[in-house]
Amino acid sequence: MVRLRVTEILEERGKTEDWLFRQTGMTDYRSFRKLIHNESSRIRFEAIAKICAALDVPAGELFRRPARVKSDHRCPAGHRFQRNCGVVFRER
């Protein structure tokens, strides 16, 4: 899932959420807060454009995709297998 990294950028720059809210000119603080904390199910392009302008960053820098975790699960016998592989290991 793609995530916004607005709070990370604010922290890196020593800015606050309130500062960004004022800079964007947005009017609904609750929606703004949900958006920047990745609690919103929808994002308007207008909101992204305002945040990009206020932070002076290209849109691509606002987003990050979590790194995939390489599966290294092992069965009780020590064999490697992939998650959801369908192999069933029975206790002896």
What confidence tens digit (pLDDT) does each residue in 68-89 have? 655 555 655 665 554 544 555 4
- CA proximity to 22, closest of 1, 50, 45, 43: 50
Which residues contact residue 2 at a Cβ distance below 8 angstroms, ignoring those fewer than 6 apart?
63, 64, 65
Q: Which domains does the chain have, with CATH numbers?
A: 3-64 (1.10.260.40)
- The label of the residue with tokens 């029975």 reads 90
3-state secondary structure of 60: helix
CB 71 within 8 A of CB 82: yes
pTM: 0.68
Instruction: Give CA–CA dist 15/49, Å, rounded.
Output: 18
Give pLDDT, residue 25: 95
